[in-house]
Amino acid sequence: MTKNTALWLNAKRADFIVGPAPSTEPLAGEIVVRVRAIAVNPMDRLVRSVGDLITPWLEYPFIAGSDVAGEVAAVGAGVTRFAIGDRVVGYAAGADKGHRAAEGGFQTYVVLKDYMTSPLPDTLSFEAASVLPLALSTAASALFERDYLALDRLSATPAANGKTLLIWGGSTSVGSNAIQLAVAAGYDVITTASPRNFDYVTKLGARQVFDYNSKNVVADIIKALRGRNLAGALAVGQGSALKCIKILGACEGNRFVAMTNPPASFDHVPAGTSRLLRLIPTLARVMIGGLSATIEARRNGVKTRMVWGSALLNSDVGPMIFETFLPSALKDGRFVAAPEPLVVGSGLGAISEALDRQLAGVSARKLVVTL
């Protein structure tokens, strides 16, 4: 196989460094993909600064990265869905427990599970496709896993089931995918966004959108849900869980909130100097916020649970998304790659800069690096 290169994290809280990487042959049920585009996620930053807290199982040296698109370079035993040269998008599972560095996305050649990979139509660029895997997986885990919202399954011709799903944070990467998945399963979607993104989330399929900055947003959503059968809520973003808990406590239906964010952000905890000065107050806010959410949930008769974005790796939801639904949905235009990519550089060395730029904030876009 051709020489491989990766963006390595050699130790806890070390700097990302570009260097040689082994060229790994695929095992049974795996493929090797020559990566052409990589999208970056907050998790890719956090495994460096607080990985010892949120991903304690990681072994170093480690290769981060989940979102990749490219061309199949090799196929393992038993793989019949793909052939060398096929254009694909897939979830790189290197950061998940039990997986190896060869499965991390930040490298030229990455090993993917075939059931977590989808073929791409010729009309969809690698850059656009690369925004999908982690956000799509997180949304699908929250919506369809039995331990979370357990929604009805996806259909190419969904029939309205009379239920409404609340998605707080519809213009986020996870929200953009969750809206489309819920609609494809027959649900009405009510969501929140900033006014500049109202048209964006409506085009994705949301029936009604509310400004999350409005002081009356909770009361307005409760009013809009009156008389409707609620399927639960997906809370995306800091502070969203408490608002969703209050809304569900006043509505009829499934009082369950799937949460994608902890009560406080670790974004500004540095990997080096002054780490403890930022980490200790952040951990305190997480504990206090978690306790507040627990008390509020019990008071309102609502159940909550944090979503781990790769829960579908170990269930039938993964194959449902990447094998059954996504290939035809992308080809037919029933599902669009969202949010739009913003290419910010080329080469593995540009990933660190992309992560820094992501920390500064991005709205309704996802940062992508090409290889």
pLDDT in tens, 334-345: 999 999 999 999
**Listed range (29-38, 44-53, 331-340) with the worst mean pLDDT:** 44-53
Structural tokens at position 189: 């979607």
At residue 338, the pLDDT reads: 93
Q: Domain map of the chain by residue range?
A: 4-132+337-370, 139-306
Q: Is 174 within 8 Å of 259 (Cβ atoms)? A: no
Q: Span 83-102, mean pLDDT?
A: 94
- Residue 307: phi and psi, rounded to 5, are -95, 130
> With 0-12 CB in 10 A as exposed, 13-18 as middle and 19+ as buried, what is 361?
exposed
Q: Give the span between the Cα atoms of 323 and 118, in whole angstroms.
A: 6
Q: Give the span between the Cα atoms of 157 and 8, in whole angstroms.
A: 44
DSSP-assigned beta bridge partners for residue 5:
20
**Listed range (51-60, 271-280, 283-292, 293-302) with the worst mean pLDDT:** 271-280
3-state secondary structure of 8: strand
DSSP-assigned beta bridge partners for residue 306:
259
Exposure string for 280-317, b = 16+ CB within 10 A, e = fewer:
eebbeebeebbeebeebbeebebebeebbbbbbbeeeb
At residue 364, the pLDDT reads: 80
User: Confidence band (pLDDT; 50, 70, 90) for 275?
Assistant: confident
Q: Give the span between the Cα atoms of 102 and 21, in whole angstroms.
A: 8
Q: Is 234 within 8 Å of 258 (Cβ atoms)? A: yes
At residue 268, the pLDDT reads: 84
pLDDT exceeds cutoff 70 at 1: no
pLDDT exceeds cutoff 60 at 83: yes
**Listed range (237-251, 256-270, 272-286) with the worst mean pLDDT:** 272-286
Q: Which residues contact 224 (CB under 8 A, 6 or more apart)?
A: 190, 208, 210
Among candidate residues 258, 261, 244, the one with its CA nearest the CA of residue 300: 244
Torsion of CA 262, 267, 273, 279, to 10 degrees: -20
The pLDDT > 90 percentage for the chain reads 83
Q: Check: CATH 3.90.180.10 for 4-132+337-370? A: yes
Q: Which residues contact 227 (CB under 8 A, 6 or more apart)?
A: none
pLDDT in tens, 135-162: 999 999 999 999 999 999 998 899 999 9
Q: Span 122-139, mean pLDDT?
A: 97
Question: Parallel, antiparallel, or unpaired: how do β-strands 163-168 and 188-193 relate?
Answer: parallel
Q: Which helix (H) or strand (E) holds 234?
A: strand 229-235
Q: Is 52 within 8 Å of 31 (Cβ atoms)? A: no
pLDDT exceeds cutoff 80 at 317: yes
Q: Give the span between the Cα atoms of 231 and 123, in whole angstroms.
A: 34
At residue 312, the pLDDT reads: 95
Distance from the first to the final alpha carbon of the chain: 17
User: Confidence band (pLDDT; 50, 70, 90) for 263?
Assistant: confident
Q: Which helix (H) or strand (E) holds 291?
A: helix 275-300
Given the structure tokens 């002054």, which residue do they identify?
A: 274
At residue 208, the pLDDT reads: 97
Q: CA of 225: how far to CAs of 163, 178, 192, in Å?
A: 10, 19, 14
| Mean pLDDT taken over the chain | 94
What CATH number matches the domain at 139-306, 3.40.50.720, 3.90.550.10, 3.40.50.1980, 3.40.50.80? 3.40.50.720
At residue 276, the pLDDT reads: 85
Q: Rounded to the nearest 5 degrees, what angle is found at the Cα of 252, between the Cα atoms of 251 and 254?
A: 105
**Listed range (106-110, 214-218, 270-274, 314-318) with the worst mean pLDDT:** 270-274
Among candidate residues 313, 191, 300, the one with its CA nearest the CA of residue 245: 300
3-state secondary structure of 192: strand
At residue 277, the pLDDT reads: 85
More confident residue, 27 or 274: 27
pLDDT in tens, 209-252: 999 999 999 999 999 999 999 999 999 998 899 999 999 999 99
